[in-house]
Amino acid sequence: MGDQVVPAKGNILGTLIPARYILAVLGSIAMAIIYGLKVNLSVAMVAMLNHSALAHHGALSVEEKAHVNAEPVCQGSNSTEAVEDGPFIWSEPVQGIILSCYFWGYLVSQVPGARVAESFSARWVMFFSVLINVVCTLLTPVAAKMHYVAMIVMRVGEGIGGGVTFPAMHVMLASWAPPNERSVMSAIVYAGTALGTVISMLMAGVLAGTLGWESVFYVMGGLSCLWMALWLWLIQDTPSKQPLISQEERDLITSSLGSSSSGGHNEPKPPVPWRKVFTSGPFYGILIAHICNNWGWYMLLIELPFYMKQVLQFNIKENAVVTAIPFLTMWFFSMALSKTLDALRSRGKITTTIARKTATFIASAVPMGCLLALCYIGCQRGLAVTLMTVGITAIGGMFCGLLSNHIDIAPNYAGTLMAITNTAATLSGIIVPIFVGQITHGNQTIGAWRVIFFVTIALYILEIIAYLLLASGEEQPWNKGDKPASSIEAAEAEATPLNTKESKQNYNSQEQ
């Protein structure tokens, strides 16, 4: 590219929005797309199922179930509208398998995806992640009409694409975010998961209720194609490869990150010190918290529409609105909490460890309390919606809590550590739909959901205890990895006299 053309383009771009924030915004939209295409089936499936036929084939009628449990399902204000019959007669266990199989693909792709992103190109990893999700989404209506096994194949494909997103974005942020802006850029990117959930649930409910369930997949898949064109045009792996950037911004980023940032992927990465990672207390604090928190997250993300339908008797349009609103409040809360904790941290009021533990405690204790209350309020629909809104909103603390903690303890391996803990936490996404399907099979009552909520509460208690005892915001000695010409012990010895200035720099460069 000619030197005279590049600065002109870069200056125009930099005048409007800095190139690094275009990356953050498009990264946020990418996360929104991935999460949106993940959760749209949870809403659309309510309209896809033939509820009348399923009730007829069930082991017990609604009246018999109410008699057995001594707790009837709630009567909605629009009970005549509450059932919208679709073409598919999939039992609760089959529904659980279809919803959980996304995570089969998600489970296997994260660690390989992280290594490919670090060694080759995070930009292309993100592009193919969204491309796979778009193709599988557009093919979903055809697959559903063929057989539910074809649906499983589509969902596994989406999971494979979705699994690489968090590690790949960690790699992109490491190359693009100046240390003093890393928290803000990370917040913009990862809050896209909440925003995508909101938009997807609202769109899916409206589309399914007006144009039919097929439109959910065709419209949302089609709109996502616009992002792919923008991503390839505007985004590069590193500032040094980006023609659409001002020289001032390029210098700002590369100088703040050091000379290695300009080398990008050409420089060999230090090998991961696996033995040290898997004997690290702070690592296990993140791992346990991530697994338990994901159980609660997926319980509300995937199963909430079914609770609203089965127990509270909301119709498809009510369901979409009531389910989506909490994720919008979660987006606002996560941004506000991260900025508050960052401000306290920068002023020396709290340590990074306290910030992470505070955010994670909020993300687990508040939803736990809300689920406990939900077990005993019966059919008070307004109160139930309020409790679920508060609980889901508080989960937003995980973005600046445990999900940011990987970069605190080992910034050199943040992408790989995220892939490891997120892979383990993905098991929750596989188990939750199957577990809920089995518990509610022929028993779609408050009593059945109470069992589900108590299991979730127990896992939240485990998360709180483990994270408060084990977690740390301090950089670990094994972050230096295995030096090519020395042993692990020598690398640790070299890392020990870390001076205060370097330590402070690390804190300021933390992801929120």
Domain residue extents for the chain? 16-56+85-242, 273-477
At residue 79, the pLDDT reads 43
Q: For residue range 178-217, what is the model confidence (pLDDT) as tens digits?
A: 766 776 777 788 888 888 888 887 888 888 888 888 999 9
Cα–Cα distance for residue pair 173/433, rounded to 1 Å: 32
pLDDT higher at 20 or 8: 20
Q: For residue range 290-349, what is the model confidence (pLDDT) as tens digits?
A: 999 999 988 876 677 677 777 777 765 666 677 678 878 888 898 888 888 888 887 889
Amino acid at 26: L
Query: Contact, 445 vs 301, CB < 8 A?
Result: no
Q: What is the DSSP letter of 2?
A: -
Alpha-carbon dihedral sign for residues 85, 87, 88, 89: positive
Nearest CA among 299, 242, 278, 225 for reference residue 456: 299
At residue 83, the pLDDT reads 46
Amino acid at 323: T
Query: Contact, 416 vs 283, CB < 8 A?
Result: no
Cα–Cα distance for residue pair 473/29, rounded to 1 Å: 29
In this prediction, residues 25-54 reach a mean pLDDT of 85
At residue 267, the pLDDT reads 55
Tokens read off for 7:
């600065």
Query: Contact, 303 vs 491, CB < 8 A?
Result: no
User: Is residue 434 very low, low, confident or very high in pLDDT (cuts 50, 70, 90)?
Assistant: confident
Give Cα 321 to chain centroid, integer Å: 20
Q: For residue range 394-406, what is the model confidence (pLDDT) as tens digits?
A: 998 888 889 888 8
pLDDT higher at 59 or 4: 59
Domain 16-56+85-242: top CATH class: mainly alpha
Q: Which residues pair with 49 in a beta bridge?
A: 88
Q: For residue range 262-274, what is the model confidence (pLDDT) as tens digits?
A: 344 445 567 889 9
The domain 273-477 is placed in CATH, from the list 1.10.150.570, 1.20.1090.10, 1.20.1250.20, 3.30.1540.20, at 1.20.1250.20
Residues in the chain: 512
Contacts of 229 (CB under 8 A, 6+ apart): none
